[in-house]
């Protein structure tokens, strides 16, 4: 391992570099120092060191499909361009049959994962969602169902007058295999009150994750950046995720999400920069020493930045996606899907070795018409 940090400009990072070299945990204050630093190359160098220690040259991707059963949402979050009121003529809600039908459409290669999230619909019940999930499992038994954010589960629990645990158990027995990481936004109460005041708070999000993990549902986790947050808010968010992970080991992947302002109530804010995207990836890799994977979600940060991110701490790029609404409603200019061979090419020309994975990061081997998961 290299012992010098060749490109260091910010002397405050030297002490952090010593810790990173020694595999020592970074503190909340170290996180704040890194967020305040403009020395992106030093941050990237350190994060790449950790990334290569954990994953060598491998970059993971998957063949997945996003499904958003409804954009009707009671929450009206200022950060969101996706959710709509039920009476909005542009809103939509799929029937259960439409969800099952759409799941099989639009991609010739066998998907290994459906990523299912939607708005907080005032009328769709927990029973409806359980039936929808059971129907998907029956029709696509080999496909992993990564479904419902902690926010959706908390809303379903409240409407059904059930505990979070009971609600999660019901969804699990209907066929949910794991949960995506959305809805965490930023845990700072000050910022949360402005950008998503109708959502569960940070402690409730973390408690739902804790319970999901306890009953055997792994999940991802996210952080929304590039709006009104401070370096302290960002470091606090990562430290709180890390604390829960120490308890449960249930988080599989962390995904930093850049705020996209177009068509939201915060559209006056500037868009993210490539530099900030790379900084978020690098600091997450350095702070989250107990979360195995860091994803550079290509839809959100563009394929070009997601490639560079593979040298700044990320070891995953997400998947084929097929149909994406949340970011495209908020002005994302990326395409909505990539083919498997596009992802292979993208990763190879970034100088990394592509590995197709299933949701649990088992390698997937494909022949012309079938795939097998190597456990």
Residue pointed to by tokens 């947050």:
229
Task: Single out the residue of 199, 260, 293, 311 in contact with ligand V47 (rule: CB under 6 A).
Answer: 260
Q: Are 254 and 181 contacting, i.e. CB atoms less than 8 angstroms apart?
A: yes
Report the C-alpha gap between 54 and 45 in whole angstroms.
14
Q: Are 358 and 112 contacting, i.e. CB atoms less than 8 angstroms apart?
A: yes
**Site for ligand V47, residues 123 to 152, rule: CB under 6 A:** 149
Task: Single out the residue of 43, 103, 309, 330 in contact with ligand V47 (rule: CB under 6 A).
Answer: 330
Query: In terms of CB distance, is 35 or 259 closer to ligand V47?
Result: 259
Task: Single out the residue of 20, 40, 80, 150 in contact with ligand V47 (rule: CB under 6 A).
Answer: 80
**Site for ligand V47, residues 180 to 219, rule: CB under 6 A:** 180-183, 185
Q: How far is the CB of 87 from ligand V47 (least distance, A)?
A: 21
Q: How far is CA 201 from the centre of its chain?
A: 18
Q: Are 316 and 181 contacting, i.e. CB atoms less than 8 angstroms apart?
A: no
Phi first, then psi: what are they for 65, rounded to 5°? -140, 130
**Site for ligand V47, residues 147 to 176, rule: CB under 6 A:** 149
Tokens (6 digits) for 177: 């295999």
Q: How far is the CB of 321 from ligand V47 (least distance, A)?
A: 8
Q: How far is the CB of 190 from ligand V47 (least distance, A)?
A: 17
Q: How far is the CB of 202 from ligand V47 (least distance, A)?
A: 13
Report the C-alpha gap between 150 and 202 in whole angstroms.
11
Q: How far is the CB of 226 from ligand V47 (least distance, A)?
A: 8
Torsion of the alpha carbons at 322, 326, 331 and 332, rounded to the nearest 10: -40
Query: Does 81 help bind ligand V47 (rule: CB under 6 A)?
Result: yes
Tokens (6 digits) for 43: 């941050």
Q: How far is the CB of 12 from ligand V47 (least distance, A)?
A: 30
Report the C-alpha gap between 74 and 76 in whole angstroms.
6
The residues that touch ligand V47, with contacts defined as CB under 6 A, are: 79-82, 149, 180-183, 185, 220, 222, 224, 255, 257, 259-260, 264, 297, 318, 326, 330
């Amino acid at each position: 391992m290299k012992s010098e940090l060749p490109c260091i400009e910010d002397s405050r990072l030297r002490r952090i570099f010593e810790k990173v070299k020694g595999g020592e945990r970074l503190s909340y204050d170290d996180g704040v120092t890194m967020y305040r630093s403009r020395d992106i190359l030093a941050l990237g160098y350190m994060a790449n060191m950790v990334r290569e220690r954990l994953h060598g040259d491998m970059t993971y991707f998957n063949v997945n499909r996003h499904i958003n059963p409804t954009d009707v949402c009671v929450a009206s979050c200022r950060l969101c361009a996706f959710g709509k009121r039920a009476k909005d003529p542009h809103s939509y809600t799929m029937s259960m049959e439409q969800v099952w039908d759409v799941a099989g459409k639009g991609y010739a290669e066998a998907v290994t994962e459906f990523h299912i999230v939607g708005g907080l619909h005032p009328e769709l019940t927990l029973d409806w969602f359980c039936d929808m999930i059971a129907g998907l499992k029956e029709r696509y038994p080999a496909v992993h169902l990564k479904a419902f954010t902690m926010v959706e589960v908390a809303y379903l629990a409240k409407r059904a007058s059930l505990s979070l645990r009971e609600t999660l158990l019901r969804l699990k027995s209907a066929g949910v295999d794991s949960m995506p990481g959305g809805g965490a936004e930023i845990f700072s109460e000050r910022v949360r009150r402005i950008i998503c005041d109708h959502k569960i708070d940070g402690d409730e999000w973390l408690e739902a994750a804790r319970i999901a993990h306890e009953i055997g549902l792994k999940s991802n986790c996210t952080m929304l950046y590039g709006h009104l947050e401070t370096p302290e808010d960002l470091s606090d968010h990562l430290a709180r995720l890390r604390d829960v992970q120490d308890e449960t080991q249930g988080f599989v992947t962390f995904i930093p999400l850049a705020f996209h302002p177009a068509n939201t109530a915060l559209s006056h804010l500037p868009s993210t920069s490539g530099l900030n995207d790379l900084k978020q990836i690098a600091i997450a890799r350095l702070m989250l020493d107990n979360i195995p994977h860091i994803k550079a979600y290509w839809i959100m940060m563009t394929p070009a930045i997601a490639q560079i991110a593979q040298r700044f701490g990320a070891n995953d790029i997400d998947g084929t996606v097929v149909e994406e609404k949340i970011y495209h409603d908020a002005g994302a200019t990326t395409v909505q899907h990539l083919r498997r061979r596009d992802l292979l090419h993208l990763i190879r020309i970034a100088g990394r070795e592509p590995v197709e994975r299933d949701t649990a990061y088992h390698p997937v081997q494909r022949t012309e018409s079938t795939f097998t998961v190597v456990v």
